[in-house]
Amino acid sequence: MNLPVISGTGVFTPKESIGNDELVAAFDAYVDLHNAQNAQEITDGTQERLEYSSAEFITKASGIESRYVMNKSGILDPKIMRPQLRQRTDSEPSIMAEMALDAAQKALAQAGVDASAIDVVIVAASNHERAYPAVAVEVQALLGTGGFAFDMNVACSSATFGIQAASDMIKSGSVQRALVVNPEICSAHLEWRDRDCHFIFGDVCTATVLEAKDSARDGHFDILSTRCATQFSNNIRNNDGFLRRTRPDNMKDRRDMQFMQNGRKVFKEVLPMVSAHMLGHLNEEQIAPDSLSRMWLHQANKSMNDFIGRKVMGRTPTPEEQPNILQDYANTSSAGSIIAFSKYSDDLQAGDIGIICSFGAGYSVGSVLLRRA
Ligand code: CO8
């Protein structure tokens, strides 16, 4: 059996970012506009009066201070309140493929692997730009990789589930090298007019190169094991999909055509599920939780990560043991834990053990146990 390793990662970060203060200023301007335009309906009780957002609330409730986005002007325009991305022609690279290309090239350079040596490309993300052909097949063509490619979606756990799929293929010998890419344009399926969630997400793309240990260059991370779990829940849901145009009202701007969540319930239900999952995985591998050198957790909420860190380690982890990037990137769905891994893993010494863990809609939880070679 081949031993799978991670030999490179790369992050594409969009050029534009939005801080909490400017986000709230734009949201509040939208609130004024909405309340003025619907004054009569609000008085009649047929329309809801909207409340202002608060930068202080956002930082306190989530730990998020800023987010990167693919288009800032549309999101901050109170008359638009969503990103505006140019429609590409069919002969141009799609937006997700372009993001993927940048992150993939960085990951391949770190691994010292030529694109032509990759046998499978998996584009694992919460949303894909089109129904078909798979974005992964386009990325394969743009990079010039061999073999085959496919898309997959397990919401926030897409990256870790993709890593498990690639790792298992390497173990079985069906592929020698794999590329898992996570282009997340969360801004396009976030409702920026809803104060309960308008601050949560950002855009980014991460890429991970996996290969059999015998061909990997020094400094890689051995994949000791992976563990995935799912449990159905409606608490994080988006009802958009290809059946939309078959419904009588087309439902274009209906609230549930964007990201919806019951944040409090997610908090309460996902925390014990994730802590038990991580402790179970460590127990299976006979690794003492407090001997972990690092936890690269899903980046949704700082209090959530603090809770999981304490529960798993049995003490409060240091910021070095459990690094967060959500203050700068916000929740980038499946890419969050991979950004944390990519930015905070270089300093680990040979033999040090760390765990990547993602969690989110589904519910889904995925963990990848790594040892620095
Ligand atoms: N400004 C001021 N006040 C506000 C604001 C705001 N922006 N938002 C809410 N409030 C108010 C509320 O109205 C409420 O007021 P009241 O008490 O009078 O009712 C009060 O503040 C408290 O509100 P909440 O109870 O909602 O606040 P919480 O402390 O629960 O914090 C969070 C809200 C930050 C959303 C928190 O619940 C959270 O982070 N939960 C977990 C979220 C999570 O991990 N979700 C995972 C989803 S991501 C995923 O799985 C991927 C999906 C696919 C990607 C989709 C991309 C778009």
Look at ligand 1, atom 14, and give the residue with the nearest C-alpha. Answer: 196
Residue with tokens 């734009």: 26
Say how far apart CA 143 and CA 207 lie, in whole Å: 13
Among candidates 132, 133, 68, 129, which has minimal Cα distance to 100?
129
pLDDT on residue 52: 98
Say how far apart CA 25 and CA 68 lie, in whole Å: 17
Cβ of 58 closer than 6 Å to ligand 1, yes or no, is yes
Look at ligand 1, atom 28, and give the residue with the nearest C-alpha. Answer: 61
Say how far apart CA 330 and CA 301 lie, in whole Å: 8
Say how far apart CA 240 and CA 210 lie, in whole Å: 33
CA of 197 to the centre of ligand 1 (A): 6
Q: Is 319 exposed, middle or buried (0-12, 13-18, 19+ CB in 10 A)?
A: exposed
CA of 244 to the centre of ligand 1 (A): 27
- Which neighbouring-strand residues pair with 8? 209
pLDDT tens figures, 13-54: 999 999 999 999 999 999 999 999 999 999 999 999 999 999
pLDDT on residue 214: 95
pLDDT on residue 253: 79
Cβ of 208 closer than 6 Å to ligand 1, yes or no, is no
Say how far apart CA 210 and CA 166 lie, in whole Å: 7
pLDDT on residue 254: 87
Say how far apart CA 44 and CA 110 lie, in whole Å: 61
CA of 262 to the centre of ligand 1 (A): 8
Does the predicted TM-score (pTM) go above 0.85?
yes
Q: Where are the domains positioned within the chain?
A: 222-372
Give the containing element (helix H, strand E) for 259: none
Q: ∠ CA 90-91-92 to the nearest 5 degrees?
A: 95
Q: ∠ CA 268-127-31 to the nearest 5 degrees?
A: 70
- Which neighbouring-strand residues pair with 223? 370
Q: Which CATH superfamily is domain 222-372 in?
A: Thiolase/Chalcone synthase (3.40.47.10)
pLDDT on residue 303: 94
The backbone torsions φ and ψ at residue 143, rounded to the nearest 5 degrees and listed phi first, read -80, -30
Half-sphere exposure of 42 (CA within 13 A, CB side): 13
Dihedral-angle region of residue 112 (phi above 0 means left; psi in -120 to 50 means alpha; beta otherwise): left
Say how far apart CA 41 and CA 347 lie, in whole Å: 59
For helices 336-343 and 158-172, give the axis angle rounded to 10 degrees: 70
Amino acid letter, residue 24: V
The set of residues, in sequence order, having a beta carbon less than 8 Å from that of 273 and lying 6+ positions away, is 229, 231, 359, 363, 365
186 catalytic residue (yes or no)? no
Q: Is 302 exposed, middle or buried (0-12, 13-18, 19+ CB in 10 A)?
A: middle
Mutate to test the pocket of ligand 1, among 20, 49, 57, 258 (most ligand atoms within 8 A of CB): 57
Cβ of 263 closer than 6 Å to ligand 1, yes or no, is yes
Give the containing element (helix H, strand E) for 225: strand 221-230
Half-sphere exposure of 219 (CA within 13 A, CB side): 9
Cβ of 301 closer than 6 Å to ligand 1, yes or no, is yes
ω into residue 93 within 30 of 0, thus cis? no
Cβ of 156 closer than 6 Å to ligand 1, yes or no, is yes
Say how far apart CA 355 and CA 341 lie, in whole Å: 9
What is the full per-residue pLDDT of the chain (373 aa) written as tens digits?
899 999 999 999 999 999 999 999 999 999 999 999 999 999 999 999 999 999 999 999 999 999 999 999 999 999 999 999 999 999 999 999 999 999 999 999 999 999 999 999 999 999 999 999 999 999 999 999 989 999 999 999 999 999 999 999 999 999 999 999 999 999 999 999 999 999 999 999 999 999 999 999 999 999 999 999 999 999 999 999 998 888 877 677 788 999 999 989 998 999 999 999 999 999 999 999 999 999 999 999 999 999 999 999 999 999 999 999 999 999 999 999 999 999 999 999 999 999 999 999 999 999 999 999 9
Q: Is 263 exposed, middle or buried (0-12, 13-18, 19+ CB in 10 A)?
A: middle
Identify whether the C-beta of residue 333 lies closer than 8 Å to the C-beta of residue 365. Answer: no
Among candidates 291, 369, 314, 371, which has minimal Cα distance to 337?
369
pLDDT on residue 183: 98
CA of 126 to the centre of ligand 1 (A): 19
pLDDT tens figures, 187-226: 999 999 999 999 999 999 999 999 999 999 999 999 999 9
Cβ of 331 closer than 6 Å to ligand 1, yes or no, is yes
pLDDT on residue 175: 97
SS3 (DSSP) at 333: helix
The backbone torsions φ and ψ at residue 159, rounded to the nearest 5 degrees and listed phi first, read -65, -45
Half-sphere exposure of 26 (CA within 13 A, CB side): 22
- Ligand 1 atom nearest the C-alpha of 303 is 39
